[in-house]
Amino acid sequence: MITCLGDVIRPAAGKATVRLLRRLGHEIEFPAAQTCCGQPFFNSGYLELARQQARHTIEVFDDDHYEAIVVPSGSCAAMVKVEFPRLFEDDAPWHRRAEALASRTFELCDFLVNRLTTLDVGARFEGAVTHHYACHLRALGLRDEVEQLIRHVEGARFVALNLQDQCCGFGGSFAVRYPSISGAMVGEKCKEIAATGADAVVSTDTGCLMNIGGYLRRHGIGIEALHIAELLDRQ
């Protein structure tokens, strides 16, 4: 599942995910009919529109041929795994289908660390790497999976980030509706990132990387913003 921002803003992360999983021996398929999972509708309170998008997503991926649906995004994975079943609590047939899809859906790092129990994927990166913990990883119950993967990248030195799990201020439409608050939040986040002296900051979500990476570029802070898939794809 590529996700909207992955498709439009950071296709390199999607391509890196495919190359990484193929390198680990998996057969990858991309259902062309997939669209938005409906999270923007859901977050804005348009629940019926969110249900329409959720039904479409469930139908697209409702194929037993797909043993796992891997998502390079904690927010979209959380939408499918946590919110889809809630959207259909009063609709038994769709609730069952939502639960079935949720059970086969994994955020990328969750899939690698907890499903495959694979930490060393053969990646190489020379330099210090820090990690911004994207908010939706909490909803998935994920903790240090990204850090574990970084520590197994040959040549990489993990550097802890102060206020690691503090929101970067993106929050989807939050950044548009409250730009001054969002700007202050990403400024504080990037101040902490710069203080690490890292060569790269890694996260699991394109929205966070778009926000953080944009700030770093605009302020001339020479730290590379990488999706975890892009880091793990490097050899």
Distance CA 196, CA 186 (A): 16
d(CA 116, CA 135): 23
Same domain for 141 and 76: no
What is the per-residue pLDDT for 33?
96
124/229 same-domain check:
yes
pTM above 0.85, yes or no: yes
> What is the per-residue pLDDT for 125?
98
Instruction: Clarify whether residues 142 and 94 are in a common domain.
Output: no
Q: Find all residues with CB under 8 Å of 200, minimum gap 6, and list them.
A: 125, 127, 128, 129, 130, 223, 224, 225, 226, 231
Query: Residue 57's domain spans which residues?
Result: 4-113
Residue 49 and residue 24 share a domain = yes
Looking up residue 179, the CATH number of its domain turns out to be 3.40.50.10700
- Distance in angstroms between the alpha carbons of the first and the last residue of the chain: 24
Q: pLDDT value at position 63?
A: 87
Total tally of structural domains belonging to the chain: 2
Are 9 and 108 members of one domain? yes
pLDDT for residue 83: 98
The whole-number pLDDT of residue 64 equals: 85
Same domain, 147 and 201: yes
Ramachandran category for residue 77: left, alpha or beta (phi over 0 → left; psi -120 to 50 → alpha):
alpha
What does the pLDDT read at residue 172? 85
Token duo for residue 48: 């019926």
Last residue of a domain, one of 86, 113, 140: 113
My answer on whether 161 and 226 are in the same domain is yes
- Examine the domain organization and report whether 50 and 22 are in the same domain: yes
The length of the chain is 235
Residues 106/71, Cβ–Cβ less than 8 Å: yes
Positions in the chain whose pLDDT score sits under 70: none
- Is the domain of 185 the same as that of 201? yes
